[in-house]
Structure 1
Amino acid sequence: MSPEVVTAGQVTLSGKRVELLPLRAEHAPQLLLAAEDGELWNMKVTVIPGPSTVEQYIATALAGRDAGTVMPFAIVHRETGRIVGSTRFWKIDRQHRKLEIGHTWLSQSMQRSGLNTEMKFLLLRHAFEEMNCVRVQFTTDELNEKSRAAILRIGARQEGIVRHERIMPDGRKRNSVRFSIIDDEWPQVKAMLLEKMSRAS
């Protein structure tokens, strides 16, 4: 894996197939193209930027970065150099050394391609080994079976369901499923992810 590079107060995380760049306002057109692959903004179980929301989506992420509670990334497919999605650290709590990985999405053509595994590895490694986290959590819609399965595949454990955890843009009261990985589990999860990536390559 390539070394981490710091840009404007936020790291760039580089792997063999994917690079996570600090999200910037000028990424809006490429981010929109990525979401257009599958018209992901029509999904009801998550919030993905569309033509009328992409600028506000990025502005909210950057405001969180300025506040010190969010590190938003653009996901770059290294082979093509294209932005193919977005992810972020958020709910960063430095006192209790915990955070959440969320707002993660990939263009439809990049899903189940192995990019998600490497991306999650890079994020988890940085959280546990550089930020010294004791807990990394994930939250997804109870109805989002694909996301729930993907989170379990990277070694997270389901903790429970948080009822009416948020209200979705269409007004639906969403029940959310919460998962986590803690520092004691990271060595085993890391070994599993490295093995998975080795098989994929």
Structure 2
Amino acid sequence: MTTLTGPRLRLRPLTADDAPLLVAAASDGELWRSPFTVIPSADTVAAYLDKALGGLAQGHMLPFAIEAQASGQVIGSTRFWKIDHANRKLEIGGSWLGLQWQGGFANPEAKWLMLSYAFDQLRCVRVQFTTDVLNERSRAAILKLGAVEEGIIRHERIMPDGRLRDSLRFSMLDHEWPAARDRLLTRLAHFD
């Protein structure tokens, strides 16, 4: 599996040994309490990793640990999933960052690395994103990447608390990537 390396971040393959590192990263803000997505706690990290590594073994998921290069600290996780080689498309999702890493360079750099790999290496024609209809912060971040909102998928999944989640679907197409890449690189330059 591929490691994606940027100026400040490294997205490396997630392993079973990452359990305590993921819990430590999610402890920054007790992120497992999020009503919008599944983020591992000490009680749920084994199931979280089983799902991610099972998806990797089945060939439809590439899960990553997000590391700060300067310290080697795991600060979150993300993945490619719903990988469809025949139709050259995938989804970027399951993304989360420890609280202190939110709102800075980490999310745009991670997405730049992933989108670059998806479009420039895997030759995807479509990359999609899905977020909880209630998660306005995530929606704003996805739009800021240059993705296009496509609509609401009703009762798209059942959350751990039993809530039937409506989700917003976004996409970026291969011909939209060059302009989005330029905007992302301009944003990232402000963090130098």
TM-score calculated relative to the size of structure 1: 0.94
- Of 46, 52, 57, 1:55 maps to 46
The residue aligned with 1:98 is 89
Q: How does 1:105-120 map to 2 (within 5 A)?
A: 105-120=96-111
Offset, 1:58: 0.8
1:164 equivalent to 2:155? Answer yes
The residue aligned with 2:170 is 179
Q: Distance in 2 between matches of 1:189 and 1:182?
A: 10
The residue aligned with 1:134 is 125
Root-mean-square deviation (Å): 0.6
Task: Say which SS state the counterpart of residue 75 (structure 2) adopts.
Answer: strand
Show structure 1 runs of 4+ deviating over 6 A.
none
1:27 equivalent to 2:26? Answer no
Offset, 1:195: 1.1
Offset, 1:164: 0.6
- Of 42, 48, 55, 2:33 maps to 42
Aligned-partner residue type, residue 54 of structure 1: V
The residue aligned with 2:142 is 151
Q: Distance in 2 between matches of 1:110 and 1:79?
A: 14
Task: Say which SS state the counterpart of residue 190 (structure 2) adopts.
Answer: helix
The residue aligned with 2:114 is 123
Aligned-partner residue type, residue 14 of structure 2: L
Offset, 1:78: 1.1
Offset, 1:199: 2.0
Task: Say which SS state the counterpart of residue 11 (structure 1) adopts.
Answer: coil
| Alignment gaps of 5+ in structure 2 | none
Task: Say which SS state the counterpart of residue 2 (structure 2) adopts.
Answer: strand
Q: Distance in 1 between matches of 2:5 and 2:35?
A: 31
Q: Distance in 2 between matches of 1:92 and 1:188?
A: 24
Offset, 1:109: 0.5
Offset, 1:162: 0.5
The residue aligned with 1:6 is none
Offset, 1:55: 1.1
The residue aligned with 2:4 is 13
Offset, 1:80: 1.7
Aligned-partner residue type, residue 73 of structure 1: F
Task: Say which SS state the counterpart of residue 139 (structure 1) adopts.
Answer: strand
CA deviations 1:69-110 (Å, max 9, x no partner) are 000000001122100000000000000000000000000010
Q: Distance in 2 between matches of 1:78 and 1:153?
A: 24
Q: Sequence identity, in percent? A: 54
- Of 185, 193, 198, 2:184 maps to 193
The residue aligned with 1:4 is none
Aligned-partner residue type, residue 59 of structure 2: G
